[in-house]
Structure 1
Amino acid sequence: MASSSSSYSDIGVILNELTCPVCFELYKEPICLPCGHSFCRLCLETSWENREADAGYVCPNCREVFPQKPKLMKNMIIANLVENVKLKKGKFGLEVRDTEHGDVNVKERMKSGDSESFCEVCNREAAKRCVPCEILCCAKHLKPHQQKRHKLVDPGVKIEELRCIEHGKPIQLYCKDDGSLMCVTCTGGQHRDHDVVALEIAHAELKDVLAAKYPHVSESMESVASQLRHVQEEEAQAENSSRNAEDSLEEKRRLVCQLVNESVDLMKSEINKRKMEKLSLLGKQREKLEQQMEDLRQGKSTMDAAFQDLEAISFLHVWFIINGSKDLLKRLETMSDFKSMKRTPLPVLDFTKEEKNLDGLITLNKNFLEKIQKGSLEHPEKVELDQNNLRRFYGRSPSLDPNSAHREITISGDLRTATRTWTENQYPEHPDRFDVHPQVVSRDCFSSGRHYWEVDVRSSRWCQIGICLNSMGRKGAESGLGGNPESWCLYKSNNDFSAYHNKQRTSLSVPGDHERFGFFLDCEAGELTCFGDSRVLHVFRGNFMVPVRPAIRVWDGRGSVHFVHLVK
């Protein structure tokens, strides 16, 4: 049994030696090159036909180049051995393929398509390119190169890219000092004393470096993605805010137009009403005057007739006529006593007050448009930081964060008032809670845009009001407002006021006992403007593009500080 197994192994070795390295079949008309390698005549000639005309004649196995085409002589020894194997192939039950070079008819094989995509030996589709041999191989003809551990690359890679530009030899090394690829010959030149390693080692080290940096890159990507989401959320908020503002303006436009229309219609109705009243009175006066005119006209006509009659008769007859016409004389007497009718002057149709109201509305809108064109609405601080404008455009009503309140600070139900007590509240433990200073911060957190709020301090004689970074510590003595680089505040002690930041105090001239203070935070400009009695008391400057919160500190027992609810 062992002898039979050994025989099969020997036959296998013999068959491998009698197999063409191009077609992997038994030699058919074997020929031998001067370098000692043998091939089927047709396989070798086809291989040469598939190469460029000026590339010379190359051995497909060792890649030796022959300037002139070698004389191809039949290798009789190999040919005889092949014939003997074919005759004895049935003796051992072996199947020896003797087709037209396997499943490829070499005689009919033609170079077709892009040579960069086909095996240079059999013209099948190429699987890899062997760098040392500079040949494209299919999966079948790739095996010898894999056994020799040749460097293999994808078919599309150009050999020129894998060779040293200076020496034309394969690139196998990497210079760490220069960061350049090189061949073996380069080590004797300018890279003589440099740190040179094999490409495989450089590749492995690069992978290790990238692997070490990958978590940092991933964390950076997560951070950037978080910031990007924040920006996108702010963009969406800006879109919604703009859309809501436009809808509100449209509603106000409708209401203003409705108000103007109703005012004009009401004024027109009143004008018509007063006109009808005046026309009615004037009509009655006109009718009365027309009646008097008719009576006078009739009396005059009667008198004209009497004058004519008197001219035609004697005095005696006149006396008798007059005596007998006493009624006529009375009528004439009445007419002669006629006096002009006293007319009561009617009120003039005066709408000056109403017109002034409309003119005021027009002027108001005109001024409003001019402010928009000048940008006054976007930057109310340019108009001397008028607090009415700040309330209107940037007003905020902060609410207090109970989780940050010191145990001696009581928070009101509406979360706007902080009151100092001498007894500790049973608040649960929380990392945001102040443990030394009687302080509390708001829930509202700002890092962009402009914001204005007001604080009522009338119920506290001793307090601090301002802002702090969200990152400011909440534990220990260093967490006091104004006592560190991360907080800015106004300090009130009875009627004395000062600006306080990073343990530095600046006295402020604040006449009287102010009850309310305003704070205008411009994150992009890096300014916190403090107001008292409609005038600027102090301006803090810092990096307010990071999250900041309004903050309160109450010193005096039972004293309280209140965030004012601003209605825009």
Structure 2
Amino acid sequence: MSSEEEGCFVNILSRNISNIVDALLHGPENAFDEARKEGLLEREDLDRITNKESNGDKIRACLDIIEGKGNEKRICEKCGQEAAKRCVTCGILCCDQHLKRHQQEGHNLMDPGVKIEKLRCTVHGDLFKFYCMDDWSLICPKCKDGQHKEHEVVPMGTAPNKLKVVLAEKHCRVLKSIESNESQLHEVQEEEGQTQNAGRGAEDLLEKRRKELCQIVNETVDLMKGQINKRKMEKLSLLGKQKEKLEQQNESLHQEKSSLQTALQEELDTASFLQGSKDLLKRLETMSDFKSVERTPLPVLDFSKEEKNLDGLITLNKNFLEKIEKGPVEHPEKVELDQNNLRRLYGRSPSLDPNSAHRQIKISGDLRTATLTRTGNQYPEHPDRFDVHPQVVSCDCFSSGRHYWEVDVRSSRWWKIGICLNSMGRKGGKSGLGANPESWCLSKLNNEFSAYHNKQRTSLSVPGDHERFGFFLDCEAGELTCFGDSRVLHVFRGNFMDPVKPAIGVWDYYCDSVHFVHLVKQTFITN
């Protein structure tokens, strides 16, 4: 059979597919008798159909013949020239000349070699004519009116452009995430390098002074070096985890970037493009909307206190050394909540951050006292500044270890004191201490004492009028213990591994003031 005859055969069968199927079910011999006489159908083709037992198998054999006869050369049904595309909408083959009308009318066009069965719904047997943007799949009209009725469905002809818009938008977001990720990765790498060199000056100075001290001082110096190294290694460990996480996400984002670029640039037919995009879109859906990793800032290592304490090493005695040897590095499982010991072991003297102070809060020169004023102070604009509540936070930021500080409230009649996450918003009515999930505080109003967190109030029994309150923060244990008159008033529990800051609020009465107490630690244990 010649190529021209084969092309004619395919066109005849394609245009009369419904009649052929009907004929197959009632007598295939008659259906193909005319074609066989004209030499358009070989006897083996007819035998291949009639030898099938079931009607379904006969239909499939017929369709296989229809597609197989045109494999060598596919002919335009209008002029007999070589076909350039198959119009799925009209069910015919067209050359470039006769393809224009189908293109202008937005018909679904495929390569002429695409098997028609691949474009049929496996459920209903109808040709695909639509694309579901919710499931990223080709569907037939019956699917559209059925299980996809509530979905966003578009015609196949317009689906590629719409899908490319979605992919392009995701591509832009991936690029932004990569930029943010690489910036944070650079910060981690820089801080990692700085941390590697941290503490060297303190260790050299300790070695120099070692010769001037007795044996007990030598043992203390070794202990202090171990503490410095542990702090450094702890921070390096945290930085290493941040670095690894950022690098993993960066690698994943680059892979998806490459996949998206390929999807946007590769020239594929409509069905291949739409079907191939499904796996890519599913992967992108699992990437948490391309949100980059939010890196938690780590506290800067400061060894200046070790250097200042060198002058006091001579006065150390064996009793102090024995106390250090019992637990110089690891925290004990349970802390003895004695305020004198807490002051000695974990005492801190926070200083106030002027950039966070509300305009009616005046900060003293030593950065420890906050006073409520009648008129606003001329503070510059700053994103950390409270704009509604008369509050201020400290410069000190804690995310690990144990810390104890005290607040003097004798000069105030309405106050709030406690802690807040460094990430807590400073603007608007929801930024009040204790009025959101990111802050914990004690409060005094009308001689009534309360504990607040996330708008939840706990009434406290505080006899008398205390002048000073203490706070002991254990970040790893997730506890903030509040003291008054040498006894525990309340214990807050939460995730204090995120950076938190001591905070103060002075309310209602002008000229009232609250200040952080200056505590002098009596040992060299650092956290």
For this structure pair, what is the TM-score category when the shorter chain's length is used for normalisation?
A: 0.3 to 0.5
TM-score by length of 2: 0.46
TM-score by length of 1: 0.44
Q: Give the structure, 1 or 2, with the largest relative contact order (CA under 8 Å, sep 6 or more).
A: 2
Q: Which has the larger radius of gyration?
A: 1
